[in-house]
Structure 1
Amino acid sequence: MLLFKLECKRLFAGTVNKLVLVLFLLSGIFAIYQGALGYKSIRIDQYKSTVVFQKEREHVSSREALPEPGSLAYYASAPTQWQLSPWAALFVGETSSSMVAAKIRATALQSQIYNREIVNPSQQRAGGLDLGFVLVYFLPLVIGILTVTLISDEQHAGRWRLLNAMPRSVFSLVGKQIALRFVVIWFMVALLLISAALLLSLPFDIFFWTVLGATSLYMVFWFALAAIIMSFGKNSVFNSLTYLSSWVVLALLLPGAVHLYLSNQYHSDAPLEITLQLRMTLNDGWDQDKQATLDAFVAKESKWSNTAPLGEAFDWKWYYAQQHMSDIAVQDQVEAYRRSNAARQNQLQKLSVLSPALFFQLSLNELAKTSGNFQIKYQQQIADYHQTIRHYFYDFLFFDKQVSRQDIADFPKFEPQTMVAQGGSWKLPLSTAVVALMLMIAIVRIRKVKVI
């Protein structure tokens, strides 16, 4: 017990140690607060979209004369929403650079999706400051500062030979010092997660314990790395620079190299090309044979093939037929981009094993349903809902049916589907095996520390 008290005093005596721990807590609290505000803003936007659409529907339904179907289809912007986990407040992922509450009309779909991509999600790197950023990048630095100079400080103070002369094993003493630091930092991480759960009303379910367990494994990796570095018996400057260099390589350079490689391998300008091609097709359609466009449309959408031929006047059914044919004109590009994006995400998951930081960050995003894979799933839900809207209005446009107030009330709503992560069963065994190997190497090396 006396030795434990002395080690606690040593741990909290240094100004640097206390400053680092305080900064870690403050940065974690600030990240939680900022993430809570961001998530609240997302939920407000999604709620506002739903409320505004409901008000617009009530306004249209209250009018004495209802609008014609084509006009109603043009102005009816139906809200959708990315069904995020509440943990998205802590692990933002792709949600900071992509739409999460898109409004969809019956017009051409692809321009509605890709014309809004102000920031291409495939170009995103680390994202903003959230709790995931603090855990992925700041936590290893805290571990290194508190741990990597343990043995070299003892050697510099002249106590190392004395410790080796004691009957108690030096390995046991060093192990207890490392364990104390692990426990202190682990309790701080747990405190941050518990505080976030209470602040955001998150359940203490399997997800909470999964995040805590994954963070613990991540901590063990960096503690093991620090132990391996200090086991070489070098001075504090060497140990600190070696650990910092390792952090730069594993947390910054390797993830950057992976993203650079993927950016070169997979075409990232496709959204712009799709939007431009679709816009040109729409514009050219006004100068082409409108009946031929309608015939081409009903050849693909046979359910509405019994519609009457076009007259001389403008006809809404040609307009929406042209909109859909424009989507079809870029369908090959869209499918190629989706396959490329899915392949990129799959390759990113595989290459993330090169960097524990990237691997951990992607795992957190997958758990919070904010990863690129879930963005792809959300876009597919938008596409399915867009087809439902189109078909709803086609009944009126192609069969000359008038819209009633009941039809407005029966307008289909977007129903977000539960999105489940796939293909991640290998992550836990792999990460556990890597951490166990690092821990074994660290134990063997610590036992062989030279006395200088």
Structure 2
Amino acid sequence: MYRLLFKSFFRTRIFMVSLALLLTVGVIGILIGKQYLVKQEKTIAAAQVFQEESIKKNIQYHSEDLGLLLYYLRFTLIKKPENISAISIGQSDVNPLLQAVTIRALEGQKYDTDFENPSLLMSGNLDLGFVIIYLFPLVLIAMTFNLYSEEKELGTWRILAAQTSGKAQFLFKKLLVRILFVFAVLIFLMILASTILQIPMNANFWAIFLLSVLYILFWSALCFWMVSFLKNSSFNALALISIWVVLTILFPALVNNYVINTYQVPEALDAMVEQRDGYHEKWDMKKDITMNGFIGLYPQFIKYEVPEDEFSWIWYYG
């Protein structure tokens, strides 16, 4: 029975289209992840070279005044990405892994980001995670929505019902053939990603693989549940696509909207004005007020004296 079901499935047009679509888009997603890693490696290497050259130049021009040297120096903070992050890039393009900061006014630099094309940010990244989350369920829906209705509409369901005692078991076997095909493509893409992206098969890799398997099993069970109502193809397709839209687009958007409204972040302009006002108000305050709060946080600097009647770098940075 399974051999016949596999043969009949492999001869269908949906098999060839699904195979070509999943493999093509999946490989593109892996290559985009590889491109992301290469870009980050080049950026980190260039930043390290620039950091050394910048320090040398600033020491050359400001070697006599340490406070002035620190004023102009920029320090590069790097969070090197793991190779497995290329499977799902996420919002790394919005929150860069590399940031250059100065010792001055750190609060105003925390949320600095790179200049990016907003159109590209809106479209997002076509990585392997995107393919698994959005494309795999659509392929499952396309292959399973007419498991029963196709047989009925072609007039072969009565013949099959007369020749088999378990109708539900027959539909389950047809579904199982399609699920195994999707799992085979998933395993191939994960192994290919591990090879191209040089991802070690550690706990993180197997966690992503297990989550992907459970995700596909969820959609497989949902498709089988919908087909079990024995409705026509139009009803099944419309119902499954509606569920896909709700679970992958509408529900995440509602959660995101709830989080944004519950935990509101001040506007960038308001934050900048507040930061600058607070920063410049310190010029008119007594130095003791500033230094008492600073020494409370950093008691190791208590040994440095801050004269009240002249400028001091310790007070300025404090």
Fold-level match, TM-score > 0.5? yes
Higher RCO (C-alpha under 8 Å, 6+ residues apart): 1
Secondary structure of 2:177's counterpart equals helix
Name the counterpart of 2:166.
169
Q: Does 2:77 correspond to 1:80? A: yes
Name the counterpart of 1:396.
none
Q: Which of 91, 95, 112 is the equivalent residue of 1:94?
A: 91
Secondary structure of 1:93's counterpart equals coil
Distance in 2 between residues matched to 1:148 and 1:204, nearest whole Å: 35
Distance in 2 between residues matched to 1:118 and 1:24, nearest whole Å: 32
Note closer, same or farther for the CA distance 1:204–1:309 as it changes in structure 2 (3 Å cut). Answer: closer
Distance in 2 between residues matched to 1:52 and 1:135, nearest whole Å: 39
Q: Does 2:122 correspond to 1:133? A: no
Q: CA deviation at 1:28?
A: 1.0
Name the counterpart of 1:34.
32
- CA deviation vs aligned residue, 1:42-74 (integer Å, no higher than 9, x gap): 23222322222123334556x497241112211
Name the counterpart of 2:23.
25
Residue range with higher mean Cα deviation, 192-201 or 37-46: 37-46
Q: How does 1:225-240 map to 2 (within 5 A)?
A: 225-240=222-237
Q: Does 2:258 correspond to 1:261? A: yes
Count of aligned positions? 313
What is the aligned-residue identity percentage?
Answer: 27
8 Å Cα contact 2:87-2:127 kept in structure 1: yes
Distance in 2 between residues matched to 1:86 and 1:263, nearest whole Å: 30
- CA deviation vs aligned residue, 1:355-408 (integer Å, no higher than 9, x gap): xxxxxxxxxxxxxxxxxxxxxxxxxxxxxxxxxxxxxxxxxxxxxxxxxxxxxx
Note closer, same or farther for the CA distance 1:64–1:265 as it changes in structure 2 (3 Å cut). Answer: closer
Q: CA deviation at 1:146?
A: 0.6
- CA deviation vs aligned residue, 1:186-243 (integer Å, no higher than 9, x gap): 1111111111111111112333322222211111111111111111111111111111
8 Å Cα contact 1:86-1:202 kept in structure 2: yes
Q: Which of 125, 147, 152 is the equivalent residue of 1:150?
A: 147
- CA deviation vs aligned residue, 1:243-276 (integer Å, no higher than 9, x gap): 1111111111111111111111111226654332
Secondary structure of 1:25's counterpart equals helix
Note closer, same or farther for the CA distance 1:27–1:311 as it changes in structure 2 (3 Å cut). Answer: same
Distance in 2 between residues matched to 1:313 and 1:154, nearest whole Å: 91
Q: How does 1:279-428 map to 2 (within 5 A)?
A: 279-286=276-283, 288-289=284-285, 291-292=287-288, 294-297=290-293, 299-300=295-296, 301-310=298-307, 314-321=311-318
Q: CA deviation at 1:312?
A: 5.7
Distance in 2 between residues matched to 1:197 and 1:230, nearest whole Å: 35
Q: Which of 246, 250, 258 is the equivalent residue of 1:249?
A: 246
8 Å Cα contact 1:114-1:275 kept in structure 2: no
Q: CA deviation at 1:294?
A: 5.0
Structure 2, unmatched stretches of 5+, are: none
Q: CA deviation at 1:85?
A: 2.2
Distance in 1 between residues matched to 2:227 and 2:127, nearest whole Å: 31
Distance in 2 between residues matched to 1:16 and 1:126, nearest whole Å: 27
Note closer, same or farther for the CA distance 1:113–1:148 as it changes in structure 2 (3 Å cut). Answer: same
8 Å Cα contact 2:227-2:236 kept in structure 1: yes
Name the counterpart of 1:182.
179
Secondary structure of 2:148's counterpart equals helix
Distance in 1 between residues matched to 2:25 and 2:201, nearest whole Å: 23
Secondary structure of 1:94's counterpart equals coil
Q: Which of 34, 48, 51 is the equivalent residue of 2:49?
A: 51
Distance in 1 between residues matched to 2:274 and 2:144, nearest whole Å: 57
Distance in 1 between residues matched to 2:239 and 2:57, nearest whole Å: 67
8 Å Cα contact 1:149-1:230 kept in structure 2: yes
Secondary structure of 1:269's counterpart equals coil
Distance in 1 between residues matched to 2:115 and 2:257, nearest whole Å: 20
Note closer, same or farther for the CA distance 1:252–1:320 as it changes in structure 2 (3 Å cut). Answer: same
Note closer, same or farther for the CA distance 1:272–1:165 as it changes in structure 2 (3 Å cut). Answer: same
Distance in 2 between residues matched to 1:211 and 1:280, nearest whole Å: 46
8 Å Cα contact 2:77-2:101 kept in structure 1: yes
8 Å Cα contact 1:46-1:81 kept in structure 2: yes
Note closer, same or farther for the CA distance 1:126–1:293 as it changes in structure 2 (3 Å cut). Answer: farther
Secondary structure of 1:79's counterpart equals strand
Note closer, same or farther for the CA distance 1:194–1:296 as it changes in structure 2 (3 Å cut). Answer: same
Secondary structure of 2:198's counterpart equals coil
Q: Does 2:208 correspond to 1:223? A: no
8 Å Cα contact 2:306-2:315 kept in structure 1: no
Secondary structure of 2:91's counterpart equals helix
Q: Which residue type is aligned with residue 11 of structure 1?
A: F
Distance in 2 between residues matched to 1:312 and 1:206, nearest whole Å: 60
Distance in 1 between residues matched to 2:144 and 2:190, nearest whole Å: 23
Name the counterpart of 1:276.
273
Note closer, same or farther for the CA distance 1:197–1:309 as it changes in structure 2 (3 Å cut). Answer: closer
8 Å Cα contact 1:114-1:271 kept in structure 2: no
Q: Which residue type is aligned with residue 277 of structure 2?
A: M
Q: CA deviation at 1:84?
A: 2.7
Distance in 1 between residues matched to 2:294 and 2:149, nearest whole Å: 79
Name the counterpart of 1:355.
none
